[in-house]
């Protein structure tokens, strides 16, 4: 996973609250992401397209008692 992908995942994880009981959609704007990683907002638009496209293609494999579960890192971007 690239550094940009890792940073986006960390930015999304930072939005999860201890009292969140279930998975729900989380959103982050380009401006928020740029501030989070300390870069110019203007340079982020194309970079975010690359990052999110790559994240949408990545698969996480989880071993479960009844077999292997394959899921994506993100469901939409």
SS (H, E, C) 36-54: HHCCCCCCHHHHHHHHHHH
Query: Which helix (H) or strand (E) element contains residue 63?
Result: strand 59-64
Q: Which residue has the tokens 């690359």?
A: 50
Domain ranges of the chain: 3-72
Give the pLDDT confidence score for residue 6 in this predicted structure.
Answer: 93
At 64 the pLDDT is 94
Q: What is the pTM of this model?
A: 0.77
Token duo for residue 64: 């479960």
Residue 39: what pLDDT? Answer: 83
Query: Cα separation of 14 and 44, whole Å?
Result: 19
Work out the average pLDDT over 3-16: 90
pLDDT digits (tens, 9 = 90+) for 20-75: 887 788 888 888 888 888 888 887 888 888 899 999 999 999 999 999 999 998 88
* Per CATH, domain 3-72 is 3.30.365.10: no
**CA angle at 13 for the pair 36 and 21, rounded to the nearest 5°:** 140
What residue has token string 């990052």?
51
What pLDDT is recorded for position 70?
A: 94
């Amino acid at each position: 996973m690239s550094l940009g992908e890792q940073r986006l995942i960390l930015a999304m994880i930072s939005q999860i609250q201890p009292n969140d009981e279930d998975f729900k959609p989380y959103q982050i704007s380009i401006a928020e992401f740029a501030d989070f990683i300390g870069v110019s907002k203007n340079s982020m638009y194309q970079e975010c397209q690359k990052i999110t496209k790559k994240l949408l293609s990545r698969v996480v494999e989880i071993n479960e008692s009844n077999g292997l579960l394959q899921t994506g890192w993100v469901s939409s971007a």
